[in-house]
Amino acid sequence: MEFNFNLYSTPLLFGFVHAWIYAVLLWVRGWRSERLSDWLLGCLLVVMAFEIWEYMLGFAGIDLLWNQLEFFPRTFSLLLPQLAWFYLRSQFNADFRFRRSDLVHALPFLLYFVYHVIVFSMGHDFVENWKQNVHNKFGFDNIRALLTLGIQILYFYWSYRLYRQYRSWSPTEFSDVEAVSFKWFHNFLVAFIASSLIGWSMTLLDLWLKLDFWHDWWDELFNAGLIYYLCIAGYAQTQPRRLHFEPTGTVLGPIAEEKASDSALAPSGKTEKLADEELQSWKAQIERLMANERLYLEPELTLSDLARRLQTNASLLSAAVNRAFGKNFNDFVNEYRVEEVKRLLEDPKAKHLSLLGIGLECGFNSKSTFNRAFRKVTGVAPSEWGKDN
């Protein structure tokens, strides 16, 4: 069979091949670095490749799927939202591992796969008879489409809520939240939501206008472009080794959903109760440690680091910081850093340093974080501080 390269088939072919190349790269890196998130992103790219291959082969004039492989399972759309959700979980928590109970998430796809394999194995004549008298008659394709839509809505909602909880949690654990950037995760979710919306919009247009095969390909082209983005941006995305976010109360399975707050959660998922006397004791210990050891000068300081220095757990320390100082860990540490910046700005020995250089000396690791934190504490930008003070 000869592949017909044309305006329609070529972009999809490039996306298909690109997905497989980066999937292999991700699997190799995941194996070497023991990063489950790389394995999952590689699987996600392969699933997306099989979302566009029907149109790719059709536009190329290859009828393999409609002749020799008619009715053989050839799409993984019933796995795509689950893989996106599990990818986020593995990125947010380096210790995340699959459990046997997680197999329930693959149940819709397994039912689809087994059903198609059984019918396909009965031979071509049986397949044609089954399609006409059973499959099409009872609208099995419509049922699968509705099931796919329901799964997309459910898992993308869970993914969005997980992302929101992660954003609420990270300032309670990290003194520099840019080290665990939200941009990739945000774009990742937006990309998949956009892909689903475009796909379903094209489906509705197809039903309304009765589009032929050659005009019903814009969503496939979008998915090919999405593959390129996920390959490049996803492979460049790092996973902080110290990131261990697994909030209690999030949905861990599709059977029962517990209510989960969007408020910041301590790593243990518990809210520690401290008596006033105990709270004052912890406040004094924290202030003494920060003043004596100047831990705020460490750009990658985390709540867990501080808890180890004080020989306590992160959950208790988070509660102590929140109640004693009225702010989360990120704001608490950045306030110390801003005070150190203000001190250096008045120190003649630091005149040789630029404004950004002073910020870096004081524990900030980027200009944007420095400017944002300084303005939040003082109400003005760092460059404006000396003018009226």
> Which comes out higher in pLDDT, residue 87 or 368?
87
Task: Tell whether 187 is covered by a domain.
Answer: yes
pLDDT score, position 237:
81
Coil, helix or strand for 244?
strand
φ, ψ dihedrals at 62, nearest 5°: -105, 115
Task: Tell whether 25 is covered by a domain.
Answer: yes
Looking at the structure of the chain, the number of domains it has is 2
Express each pLDDT in 256-270 by its tens digit.
Answer: 333 333 333 334 344
pLDDT at 143 over 60: yes
Express each pLDDT in 147-191 by its tens digit.
Answer: 999 999 999 999 999 999 988 888 888 887 776 767 888 899 998
pLDDT score, position 386:
62
Distance linking the first and last C-alpha atoms of the chain: 78
pLDDT score, position 332:
93
Band of the pLDDT at 72, cuts 50, 70, 90? very high
* 309 shares a domain with 230: no
Answer for the pair 75, 63: CB distance below 8 angstroms, yes or no: no
Task: Tell whether 56 is covered by a domain.
Answer: yes
pLDDT score, position 318:
87
pLDDT at 373 over 70: yes
Q: Is 34 left (phi over 0), alpha (psi -120 to 50) or beta?
A: left
pLDDT score, position 45:
96
Band of the pLDDT at 273, cuts 50, 70, 90? low
Task: Tell whether 243 is covered by a domain.
Answer: no
Last residue of a domain, one of 172, 207, 236: 236
Domain hosting residue 219, numbered range: 9-236
| Greatest CA separation for the chain | 90
Band of the pLDDT at 294, cuts 50, 70, 90? very high
The proportion of the chain whose per-residue pLDDT surpasses 90, expressed as a percent, equals 57
Question: Would you give the distance in Å from CA 271 to the centre of its chain?
Answer: 26
pTM of the model: 0.80
Task: Tell whether 250 is covered by a domain.
Answer: no
Band of the pLDDT at 383, cuts 50, 70, 90? confident
Q: Give mean pLDDT, residues 109-130.
A: 95
Q: Which two tokens stand for residue 126?
A: 């049986």
pLDDT score, position 256:
33
Q: Give mean pLDDT, residues 60-75.
A: 91
pLDDT at 253 over 60: no
CA nearest 239: which of 27, 31, 34? 34
pLDDT score, position 233:
92
Task: Tell whether 262 is covered by a domain.
Answer: no
The proportion of the chain whose per-residue pLDDT surpasses 70, expressed as a percent, equals 90
Q: How large is the C-alpha radius of gyration of the chain?
A: 27
For residue 311, what is the domain's CATH number? Answer: 1.10.10.60
Q: Give mean pLDDT, residues 110-129.
A: 95
Q: Give mean pLDDT, residues 237-246.
A: 70
Coil, helix or strand for 174?
strand
Residue with tokens 């401290």: 274
